[in-house]
Amino acid sequence: MSTSSVEIKVCLGTSGNAAGGEEVLRLFRHYVFDRAVEARIGTRCEFRKVGCRGFCSKDVLVDVIINGSKTTYQSVKPIMVERIVDDHIVGGGPIPEWMAGDEYTSFHSKQYKIILGPCGEIDPENIDDYIRMNGYRAARKAVTKMTPDGVIDVVTQSGLRGRGGSGFSTGEKWRICRGQKNDTRYIIGNVGEVNRALAEGNPHAIIEGLLIGGYAIGAQKGYLYIRERYHLSVERLRTALDQARDKGFIGKDIFGSGFDFNIEFSFGTESFICGEETALMESIEGKRAMPRYRPPFPAEKGLWGMPTVINNAETFSNIPLIIGMGADWFSSIGTAESKGTKVFTLSGKVKNNGLVEIPMGMPLREIVYSIGGGIAGNRKLKAVQVGGPSGGIIPESMIDMGLDYESLRKVGSIVGSGGMVVFDDEDCIVSVTKFFVEFLQRESCGECTPCRIGTKRMLELLIKITDGTGEIEDLDTLNRLSGIMTASSLCGLGRTASNPFITSFNHFRDEYLAHIRDKKCPAGVCPALVVFMVVPEKCKGCGLCRKACPAGAVTGEIKKAHDINQELCIKCGACYKVCKLKAIKKQ
Amino acid sequence: MEQRLEGILNNYLQNEGNVISILQDIENEFGYLPEDAISWISDRLDVPPARFYGIATFYSQFHLKPRGKHCITACTGTACHVKGSEWLISSLTSELHLLPDEDTTEDRKFTVEKVNCLGACSIAPVVVIDKEVYGKMSSDRLMKLVKKLEKKESEKEKA
Ligand SMILES: Cc1cc2nc3c(=O)[nH]c(=O)nc-3n(C[C@H](O)[C@H](O)[C@H](O)COP(=O)(O)O)c2cc1C
Ligand code: FES
């Protein structure tokens, strides 16, 4: 790289795109060309589209790197590009008021990005960028210098556990599969919603991991199973795969070793159950995605009846690092039982929403307050839900716990998909639980009775409670149902479906009782149990609430106290949210 | 229609597809799964239509009825739910005069659908309009976008 250089990196993940990233990049190219910038400053300008770096709430993020010194701009809009080119690139003076501030720094400083690091640095559509960062070197090392068992040993020693849910030792899984007598074996990369940024920002890492895994277990064919709707992820992975094929990293006689390995796409639908490993295999085989009985486990008898390893895409992205940098390096990160890092999607009521990667075991408090920047609008933290729809709800009082497989299991939650949603005191826990159960009920495939009927009955009871007609006995029934579903459901969906109820009931019993006994929703969310009213002394008659009301329930003249017609009110809370004078109260 | 189906069939034969991939291709080609298309394919492959319908009714991505010209998809995943996706959907259904169990307008211009987490939670609530992803959606902005589309459609009709 020459010392005199200008590089412009524009974030073009899903969120960067949504914020207008393509247009921003186009305008950078346009102005640089239009004003003959390269001739004027005497150096070439390089443009690079990069993947998501996690801080999506401030997209479009743009890095301007002049002679190695990097300035990051946030919330860049197309109209801002011209000035950045004129003032900064040509004039040499960065524009302080548009630069990413402390939030951006604190969001990143506590993270430990071994997997997501390259996203935001490299161009995901250019294999040479990946190769420059030592890409495919681990695969070469594994295939040409190591035995399959040697690879499995290193992965086992590293302590890597599955990132897709169960947390099973990846090395062990591979060893079981390799130990089967069949000649044909398969390996599948499960690309779910949390893997999107990875697939969009660093697709080659997933492919390289899959390749090394294929070599280790002796598979001839790998599948990338991805939801068809994730258009950008599919596109980037497809481009990456084509480039890897062109370079001879995928195909016949890889690295001259005689090892043949091919990768194919299989497109799934976004049904939740399609992420479950045995249902996923049914789906690849072209059937309804209904889970299979276990044993036999997929590693023994999986896709088309052959031994199959299935791992999450994030699990695979760790593999090149482990082979490249060694098991000891990897196991130095994390806790005694949970090694390495984990990606979480931090969302909900925190200030900084985004994708974060942390060393296993980091206290939840640090994620919420240091990385997430605390609760938006200076409200009070109530709970954090970790692990996707069937994860557990963790109350504020337990926020000092570390995030790792063991600690999460102890509080009745799971690592699951790595979802992390933060709730504040305006969220009703019963209603949130109902939301999760509603999702799980809808997504239950209907194959086994405990899950099919159990989720339905649970949902009915939760609706009853939030409608204000719940009885104390309903709580017993919910607890009994939870026990039955956990013990006797066929797959993980049913077995974990009661997590949201069990954890929320354990920690927020009072809130359940308030709904049932006092017919009150303390957070003021459940429509049947809340009334919105104008406080006449505080209302100045500005009319904002009247305009915001979608039901036409608010009436009143300008500069006079307004009124809410309870018959028309649909309890959406729009008036409550827009009122700047706190003149609307909920009861 | 037959010509287009012929292409789908060839693709299937060449790429070792399966029932799901055929249905995905038909859905992409026609925007839904026309009954005639399924009968045609099932005849040609000698696979009972029930196999196709079994799949089509299991996965929510398949539709047996024609869909609107513009598809507005609102994410109802957890993050989007917390940020109020429910109200986006109710304002959409009232703007487009949809009944509770309808998802497509009578003139087949708009379809409103809900979808599970789209993996873009950090810009919740997320709405996808004709494959274009919009983040941090508000009811106001959504209504503006819909009105713009409505206007475009009615202008087209006049022209
Ligand atoms: C209902 C359900 C949904 C799941 N969804 C996913 C998913 O989206 N992605 C994923 O990697 N694993 C998912 N899993 C876990 C998989 O069954 C499987 O354990 C995992 O892909 C194995 O990979 P790992 O060992 O790398 O974690 C799901 C499990 C269940 C029960
Ligand atoms: S919940 Fe809507 S994108 Fe994840």
pLDDT in tens, A380-435: 999 999 998 889 999 999 999 999 999 999 999 988 878 899 999 999 999 999 99
Q: Using an 8 Å CB-CB cutoff, list chain A residues near B118.
A: 14, 193, 229-230
Between the CA of A464 and the centroid of ligand 1 the distance, in Å, is 32
pLDDT tens figures, A8-59:
999 998 888 888 999 999 999 999 999 999 999 889 999 999 988 888 888 8
Same domain flag for B74 and B49: no
Structural domains for chain A: 6-111 (3.40.30.10), 134-331 (3.40.50.11540), 341-424 (3.10.20.600), 429-518 (1.20.1440.230), 531-586 (3.30.70.20)
Which stretch of A96-100, A317-321, A353-357, B99-103 has the lowest confidence by average pLDDT?
Answer: B99-103
- Structural contact between residues A116 and A163, judged by C-beta atoms closer than 8 angstroms: no
> Is B19 domain-assigned?
yes
Q: Is residue B100 part of a domain?
A: yes
Helix B49-58 × helix B19-30 angle, to 10°:
70
| Domain boundary, last residue among B10, B32, B58 | B58
The interface residues of chain B toward chain A in range 21-60, judged by CB-CB distance below 8 A, are 21, 24, 54-55, 58-60
Q: For residue range A168-195, list pLDDT tens digits in order.
A: 999 999 999 999 999 999 999 999 888 9
CATH number of the domain within which B151 lies = 3.40.30.10
Q: Are residues B110 and B148 located together in one domain of the fold?
A: yes
B139 located within any domain: yes
- Same domain, yes or no: B49 and B97: no
Give CA angle at A551 (A547, A553), nearest 5°: 75
The pLDDT confidence band at residue A7, using thresholds 50, 70 and 90, is very high
Of residues A294 and A209, the one with the higher pLDDT is A209
User: Does some domain include residue B65?
Assistant: no
The per-residue pLDDT for A55 is: 85
Answer whether A119's CB lies under 8 Å from A202's CB.
Answer: yes
Say whether both B84 and B154 belong to one domain: yes
Pocket of ligand 1 from Cβ distances under 6 Å = A 162-166, 168, 190, 192, 272-273, 275-277, 310-312, 315, 417, 491-493
Q: Measure in Å the smallest separation between the Cα of B122 and chain A Cα atoms.
A: 5
Burial class (CB in 10 A: 0-12, 13-18, 19+), A312: buried
Q: Are residues B88 and B139 in the same domain?
A: yes
- Of B37, B58, B79, which closes a domain? B58
Averaged pLDDT of chain A: 93
Q: How many domains does chain B have?
A: 2
Query: Is A427's Cβ below 8 Å from some Cβ in B?
Result: yes
Of the candidates A556, A562, A519, A508, the residue with the CA atom closest to the CA atom of residue A538: A562
Band (pLDDT 50/70/90 cuts) for residue A77 is very high
Asked whether A244 and A250 are in contact (CB, 8 A), the reply is: yes
Please state the rounded mean pLDDT for residues A355-365: 95
Across all residues in chain B, what is the average pLDDT?
Answer: 90
Q: Are residues B148 and B116 in the same domain?
A: yes
Return d(Cα A327, Cα A156) in angstroms, integer: 8
Q: Are residues B15 and B43 in the same domain?
A: yes
> Is the pLDDT confidence value at A67 over 50?
yes
B44 shares a domain with B81: no
Residues B94 and B123 in one domain: yes
Quick one: average pLDDT of B12-29?
A: 86
The answer to the question of residue B64 being in a domain is no
B22 and B90 together in one domain: no
pLDDT bucket at A106, cuts 50 / 70 / 90: confident
* Parent domain of B94: 70-158
pLDDT in tens, A291-350: 999 899 999 999 999 999 999 999 999 999 999 999 999 999 999 999 999 999 999 999
pLDDT band at A1; cut points 50, 70, 90: very low
pLDDT for the residue numbered B122: 84
Query: Do B34 and B98 share a domain, yes or no?
Result: no
Q: Is the ipTM of this complex over 0.90?
A: no
Bond into A395 cis (ω within 30): no
Where residue B139 falls among pLDDT bands split at 50, 70, 90?
A: confident
A456-485 residue pLDDT tens:
999 999 999 999 999 999 999 999 999 999
CB contact A350 to B (< 8 Å): no
Strands A6-11 and A354-359 turn out to be unpaired
Give yes or no: residues B147 and B95 share one domain.
Answer: yes
Question: What does the pLDDT average to over A92-104?
Answer: 90
Task: Decide if B63 is inside a domain.
Answer: no
CA–CA gap between residue A252 and residue B52 (Å, rounded): 36
